[in-house]
């Protein structure tokens, strides 16, 4: 049985890591089913090895997801699907959680193979992005050609968005991959390889015009360095910042509403649109402060405005592009408190996980990447993004364990 579990866990993670460059390049939507499969296997593993237990993080997560499902009762959004988004999110969130124990189990038994595979596929994925962007999406069009000029225009728009997703996935996992490179590669090339990898992600973000990618990578670099230097402080400070970002989201929405009421500045159109979305949600939050407007209510906001380029654009494009604002808008104060409880429940497991400065740097980088990306772009309930965050958590468990764990001090370097 043990041999079977070893082979199954290793094989499943091996396949997922092999597929990640291609799945990410295609827009990342396939991440959700892949992590769901790993979650099912992780849950099965926990039951088979009698390590199944309910943790405070799970309890907090279930309560949060349950409240989101309840809020759908008064939401104006009425989907036709029997398997609604809140049901899918509830099921996926619970199953996603069990993906990291599978990474931990496989990482303890065959770490080096998976570590080197992760480094190789990450560099390969970054290389694919640069090739595709430098060739004006020639790589994508080679495998998915557009028969007409008009179709090529739409294909290019879709490809630009897909590659943006791929870049943010790389930003999300960049810190643990960088720490792996420093610890597992020969010292003569480890630093150069790590810098080259980060530079490739930065180039991809710049070539795709993805300011969130550049900002995220900068934030990850600072957070990872700070976490490495202050391993007992920075990860918890960052988790606290996440809680603060959630609880203070109404203040952000209010300030954005003031921007909209006054003469707009010369901000780029994408940032102007973000502020308009957040500002629009301010009144929704005021009208529904406790329970919110209901799960997926943002999908029903149909008001438009005339953008700087003359186009008529929906103010809130499916979601507010800020997790905190979306939580308050759709789930209210209760949702914000429950979401904050989930983050607070992570404090203890994060403390138990950190065995070295590399662990602290990697964790800090992942937290920062998730915070920046969730605050500026994707919807709070997007399955593929949830899958990416749980993927990053799993990857953290592929980092080499300390041979002799000691109490880390922020005043000494080890």
Residues 387-414 pLDDT 10s: 999 999 999 999 997 654 444 555 443 3
Q: Does 67 map to a domain?
A: yes
Q: Give the pLDDT mean for 230-244.
A: 96
For residue 260, name the pLDDT band (cuts at 50, 70, 90): confident
Q: Does 45 map to a domain?
A: yes
For residue 19, name the pLDDT band (cuts at 50, 70, 90): very high
The predicted structure's pLDDT at residue 317:
87
Q: Does 66 map to a domain?
A: yes
User: How many structural domains does the chain have?
Assistant: 1
Whole-number Å distance between alpha carbons of 296 and 31? 22
Asked if residue 213 lies in contact with residue 204, where contact means CB atoms within 8 angstroms, the answer is yes
- Closest alpha carbon to 125 in 196, 191, 201: 201
Q: Does 279 map to a domain?
A: no
The predicted structure's pLDDT at residue 414:
32
Q: Does 376 map to a domain?
A: yes
pLDDT of 26 strictly over 60: yes
The predicted structure's pLDDT at residue 411:
45
pLDDT of 17 strictly over 70: yes
Q: Does 14 map to a domain?
A: yes
For residue 96, name the pLDDT band (cuts at 50, 70, 90): very high
Which domain, by its residues, includes 106?
A: 2-245+332-396
Tell me the pLDDT tens digit for each residue of 60-77: 999 999 999 999 999 999
The predicted structure's pLDDT at residue 266:
75
Whole-number Å distance between alpha carbons of 59 and 409? 32
- Closest alpha carbon to 168 in 25, 14, 382, 18: 25
Q: Does 220 map to a domain?
A: yes
In the numeric block, which tokens belong to residue 14?
């091996």
For residue 149, name the pLDDT band (cuts at 50, 70, 90): confident
Q: Does 212 map to a domain?
A: yes
Q: Of all residues in the chain, what percent carry a pLDDT higher than 70?
A: 96
Whole-number Å distance between alpha carbons of 303 and 277? 10
In this structure, the strands spanning 312-314 and 304-306 are antiparallel
pLDDT of 124 strictly over 90: yes
Q: Give the pLDDT mean for 331-356.
A: 96
**Per-chain mean pLDDT for the chain:** 91
The predicted structure's pLDDT at residue 263:
63
């Amino acid at each position: 049985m043990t041999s079977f579990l070893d082979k199954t866990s290793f094989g499943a993670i091996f396949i997922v890591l092999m597929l990640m460059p291609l799945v990410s390049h295609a827009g990342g939507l396939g991440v959700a089913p892949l992590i769901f499969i790993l979650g099912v296997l992780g849950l099965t593993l926990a039951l088979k090895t009698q390590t199944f237990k309910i943790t405070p993080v799970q309890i907090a997560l279930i309560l949060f997801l349950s409240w989101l499902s309840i809020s759908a009762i008064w939401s104006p959004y009425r989907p036709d699907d029997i398997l609604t988004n809140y049901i899918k999110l509830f099921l996926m969130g619970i199953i996603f959680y069990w993906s990291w124990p599978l990474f931990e189990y496989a990482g303890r038994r065959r770490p080096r193979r998976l570590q080197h595979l992760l480094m190789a596929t990450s560099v390969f994925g970054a290389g694919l992005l640069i090739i595709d962007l430098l060739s004006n999406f020639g790589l994508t069009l080679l495998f998915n050609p557009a028969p007409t000029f008009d179709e090529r225009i739409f294909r290019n728009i879709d490809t630009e968005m897909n590659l943006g997703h791929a870049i943010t996935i790389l930003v999300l996992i960049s810190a643990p991959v960088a720490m792996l490179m420093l610890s597992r590669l020969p010292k003569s090339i480890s630093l150069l390889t790590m810098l080259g990898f980060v530079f490739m992600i930065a180039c991809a973000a710049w070539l795709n015009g993805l300011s969130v990618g550049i900002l995220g990578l900068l934030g990850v670099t600072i957070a990872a360095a700070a976490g490495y230097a202050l391993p007992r402080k920075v990860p918890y400070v960052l988790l606290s910042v996440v809680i603060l970002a959630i609880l203070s989201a109404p203040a952000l929405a209010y300030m954005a509403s003031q921007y909209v009421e006054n003469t707009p500045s010369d901000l780029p159109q994408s940032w102007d649109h973000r502020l308009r979305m957040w500002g629009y949600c301010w009144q929704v939050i005021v009208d529904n402060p406790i329970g919110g407007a209901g799960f997926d209510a943002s999908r029903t906001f149909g008001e438009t405005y005339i953008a700087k380029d003359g186009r008529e654009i929906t103010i809130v494009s499916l979601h507010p592009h800020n997790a905190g604002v979306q939580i308050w808008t759709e789930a209210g104060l209760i949702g914000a408190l429950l979401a904050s409880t989930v983050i607070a429940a992570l404090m203890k497991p994060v403390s138990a996980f950190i065995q070295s400065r590399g662990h602290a740097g990697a964790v800090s980088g992942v937290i920062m990447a998730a915070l920046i990306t969730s605050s500026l772009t994707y919807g709070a309930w997007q399955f593929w993004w949830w899958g990416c965050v749980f993927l990053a958590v799993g990857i953290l468990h592929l980092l080499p364990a300390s041979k002799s764990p000691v109490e880390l001090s922020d005043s000494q370097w080890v």
